[in-house]
Structure 1
Amino acid sequence: MKILKFFLIFIPISIILELFKVNQVLNFVCSALAIIPLAGLMGEATEQISVYSGPKIGGFLNATFGNATELIISFFALKRGMIEVVKASIVGSVIGNILLVLGFSMLFGGFKYKSQKFNKKTTEVSSSMLLFAVIGLCIPAIFTHTINKGAITNKYEWFSLVVAGIMFVIYILSLYFSFYTHKDLYALKYEDDKNKKWSLTKSIAVLLISTVIIALESEILVSSVDSMSSMLRLSETFVGIIIIPIIGNAAEHSTSVMMAMKDKMDLSIEIAIGSSLQMILFVTPVLVLISLFFRPMSIILNDFELAALIVSVLIVNRVASDGESNWLEGVQLVFVYLIIAVSFLI
């Protein structure tokens, strides 16, 4: 986290580059580097607020702000009509968390410890929820793939809205499950080394200021996507599915790896799988609703995005099924992610 804060210098640099329209590729890179530490500050502020408010409200805040960076970036992408980029970023965030983040966590944790154990029961609950969430994303796409393309009219636009609503309800119920009816299962997840480093006023101020600046940087980032993609000959799908999720989740990625290296594999898995669940069950429905103010966005994914999601969830469920991890399992997850990333690059 301390290293990431040095990246704050890119905030004024990106603003200057945007004002003078120097170079769109450079502008994209600088705004991306500026967002990374801001996302970290937002997460740190949320964590500090939860120390004062307690685990219940803290859990709600983490759920709300856990993927706030991706939500803000996607909002500006929707505003510009970049729906495919938004849908790709949803898929990219999920596979990035459960393959890349969890893979690196198991890899670096496995270098320090021969094997690491984690709570099998809570992991099974999270994995089952993840499987349901992916089914929610897959069913609309499979449905539209099985009917005559010419028969798809506006009457099917409500389908995505209904599915998004159902997923959001499940998300609320999962929070109730985690923090009320079965909170004993998740007790270990709050036994972290939390201390009051910031005052409550400072924490709220940092959270608000970080959110505002991320919104500014996100608008700069999204405005340069088209030019950057064409100059570097990258597809918008690759930008959405690989680059944007890495930018939005960089701070979260580092936290997960650090927890694994402290032999807190339960926390690493919760960060990786929990963030993916938030992305599908919370962020996606919110984006579908927001899109109604611009251009309605369906949650119908293309064939390869579907395949990437299904394969990712299957291998994570398999790796996490025994309640134990090692460095080789981490390598497997990372390599699956690399194969998918290269496939989208071609």
Structure 2
Amino acid sequence: MTLLFGKIRSTPLLWLLVFVPIVLAVELARPEAHTLLFLLSVAAIVPLAAMLSLATESVAEKTGDAAGGLINATLGNLTELVIALTALAAGQYALVKASIAGAIVTNALFMLGASFLLGGMVKHVQEFNRVGARFQASLLFIATVALLIPSAIATADNVDSPEAIQTLSLMLSLLLIAGYVLGLWFSLGTHREAFASAAPVEGHHESLPIGVALITLAVVTVLVALVSHVFVASVEVAGAALGLTPAFVGFIVVSLVGGAAEFASAFSAARKDRLDLSVSIALGSSVQIALFVGPLLVLLSYAIGPVPMGLDFWPGAIVMMLIAAIAAALLTAGGRSTWFLGVLVLMVYTIFGLTLYVLPPVQ
């Protein structure tokens, strides 16, 4: 624990942890101050993301980059899951679906592109395990196809049967969750050797003991969940005051703030020339959203939602998710990256964000 406290004292970013008790106290004292709570929750999530990054990197050094990426993706997606569950219980299905689509696109494009850019600024050319990356990209593409089918078929064939679309969504959700479990068994079990890092980690830096790292992960995860609850309770009102639609809030704002923990870990790993971990986090998180979190929300809507939720998205989200999945497959096929490749990927993500802001979908 001494090492942990020492890192907090020596890292100015972690001093922002003071905002965690502040935002929780303000939420109790002034729950109607939505704009203030929104700003405080963002300020609190940033240092929590940095703490999560620190603990995850320590765990990844003991488990390997594949498992480390899975751990970070799982804990990082907790924020999106909490936000989506809160919106699901309130019947805000437009926000839920926008957060699902946004998380897939943000992780596959923004996180991956920024990792390429930051890593390329440190090293001329970086390499990563293309077998593992192509595996994750393939899973993402297949999952995206399953997410798009209900909307695409209903639109192309003029199907006007909400019950049929809901039944198809339920069946696809069960299939995707089964595929996710089998994918974990394949990558972490039967073919684990194929997902080793492309190059050994050079150098040595002081990391947290595995016990301290796991305790830190558990505590920070709980705090992230609490702060995320405050964030989602205030983000809609704050977004409306700023003239932002639920689609933009869910697709861009929720995805960027909710993925802060994963971003911190992926960007830090890329600058340390551990691009395997960055790619594993970025693609693994997108796959987990598409194969597990999205389908899980469909199943949970039967229990906590006003009505069951389907996997039908608006046409713009369909196009963006499909482009993100194809781009991820093409970008990771060679197993090499440079900073300019990251710039190109970030340009695609910026195009999506500007389009949603200027031409919001009709919900």
TM-score by length of 1: 0.89
1:66-114 superposed Cα distances (whole Å, 9 cap, x missing partner)? 4112112211121222211111111111111121111111112222322
Alignment of 1:139-178 (within 5 A): 139-148=149-158, 151-178=160-187
Distance 1:224 1:88 in 2: 17
TM-fit CA distance, 1:16: 3.3
Distance 1:326 1:234 in 2: 34
TM-fit CA distance, 1:56: 9.4
1:65 paired residue among 75, 86, 105: 75
**Residue aligning to 1:180:** 189
Query: Does residue 1:269 correspond to 2:279, yes or no?
Result: yes
**Residue aligning to 2:235:** 225
TM-fit CA distance, 1:166: 0.7
Q: Is the 8 A contact 1:81 1:294 kept in 2?
A: no
Please tell me the residue identity of whatever aligns with 2:82. Answer: I
**Residue aligning to 2:361:** none
1:132 paired residue among 142, 145, 169: 142
**Residue aligning to 2:291:** 281
Q: Is the 8 A contact 2:78 2:225 kept in 1?
A: no
TM-fit CA distance, 1:167: 0.8
Distance 1:323 1:106 in 2: 12
**Residue aligning to 2:321:** 309
TM-score by length of 2: 0.85
Alignment of 1:19-168 (within 5 A): 19-21=29-31, 23-42=33-52, 44-45=54-55, 48=58, 61-62=71-72, 64-148=74-158, 151-168=160-177
Distance 1:118 1:212 in 2: 32
1:322-345 superposed Cα distances (whole Å, 9 cap, x missing partner)? 222112211110011011001111
CA gap 1:259/1:52 in 2 versus in 1, 3 angstroms? closer
Q: Helix, strand or coil: the match of 1:299?
A: coil
**Residue aligning to 1:8:** 17
Identity of matched residues, %: 33
Distance 1:310 1:11 in 2: 37
**Residue aligning to 1:256:** 266
1:98-141 superposed Cα distances (whole Å, 9 cap, x missing partner)? 21111111112222322222222222222211111111111111
TM-fit CA distance, 1:40: 4.2
TM-fit CA distance, 1:198: 3.7
Q: Is the 8 A contact 1:164 1:288 kept in 2?
A: yes
Q: Helix, strand or coil: the match of 1:293?
A: helix
Distance 1:335 1:80 in 2: 34
Q: CA RMSD in A?
A: 2.7
CA gap 1:3/1:256 in 2 versus in 1, 3 angstroms? farther
Query: Is 28-37 or 96-105 further displaced after alignment?
Result: 28-37
CA gap 1:211/1:171 in 2 versus in 1, 3 angstroms? same
Distance 1:328 1:57 in 2: 28
**Residue aligning to 1:327:** 339
Query: Is 318-327 or 52-61 further displaced after alignment?
Result: 52-61
TM-fit CA distance, 1:267: 2.0
TM-fit CA distance, 1:302: 0.6
Unaligned 5+ segments in structure 1 are none
How many pairs align? 344
Distance 1:87 1:4 in 2: 32
CA gap 1:315/1:205 in 2 versus in 1, 3 angstroms? closer
CA gap 1:292/1:43 in 2 versus in 1, 3 angstroms? farther
CA gap 1:197/1:70 in 2 versus in 1, 3 angstroms? same
CA gap 1:249/1:14 in 2 versus in 1, 3 angstroms? same
CA gap 1:91/1:189 in 2 versus in 1, 3 angstroms? farther
Q: Is the 8 A contact 2:38 2:231 kept in 1?
A: yes
CA gap 1:336/1:62 in 2 versus in 1, 3 angstroms? closer
CA gap 1:61/1:33 in 2 versus in 1, 3 angstroms? same
Query: Does residue 1:215 correspond to 2:225, yes or no?
Result: yes
Distance 2:137 2:63 in 1: 28
Distance 2:205 2:196 in 1: 14
